[in-house]
Amino acid sequence: EAGVVQSPRYKIIEKKQPVAFWCNPISGHNTLYWYLQNLGQGPELLIRYENEEAVDDSQLPKDRFSAERLKGVDSTLKIQPAELGDSAVYLCASSLVSGAGELFFGEGSRLTVL
């Protein structure tokens, strides 16, 4: 069974540039999460989807971050414009049962903003 697939694995951009991350969850997993992880910190939830509906986006900085999950399968997280403080690893995760706590994470997308 394929795991959660994310791309790109690494991205280096200059500040004020846009960037997008893509995630394909495990087949059959209706719940999809985007987390942000800074160095030495635990993952912090940005947004959670149940199918195509964003059910928790309270921690998503909506002035510059946006996300979509069209058709309830893969998802895209966008930052526009990027700031220096956005440098982090963006983790996508999926779960079979909503909120069950058993999350399967992708390898992450490491963003460096110069």
Least gap, CB of 6 to another protein (angstroms):
9
Least gap, CB of 74 to another protein (angstroms):
17
The strand ranges marked E within 2-114 are 5-7, 10-13, 19-24, 31-37, 44-50, 53-56, 65-68, 75-79, 88-95, 104-105, 109-113
Compare residues 43 and 82 and give the one whose CB is closer to another protein.
43
Compare residues 17 and 107 and give the one whose CB is closer to another protein.
107
Phi, psi of 113, rounded to the nearest 5 degrees: -110, 120
* Pairwise CA distance, residues 58 & 54, whole Å: 10
> Which residues would be at the binding site for another protein (CB under 8 A)?
40-45, 48, 55-56, 91, 98-108
Name which of 105, 112, 98 is nearest 42 in CA terms.
Answer: 105
Compare residues 41 and 80 and give the one whose CB is closer to another protein.
41
Least gap, CB of 91 to another protein (angstroms):
6
Compare residues 17 and 56 and give the one whose CB is closer to another protein.
56
Least gap, CB of 87 to another protein (angstroms):
16
Name which of 77, 75, 81, 82 is nearest 59 in CA terms.
Answer: 77
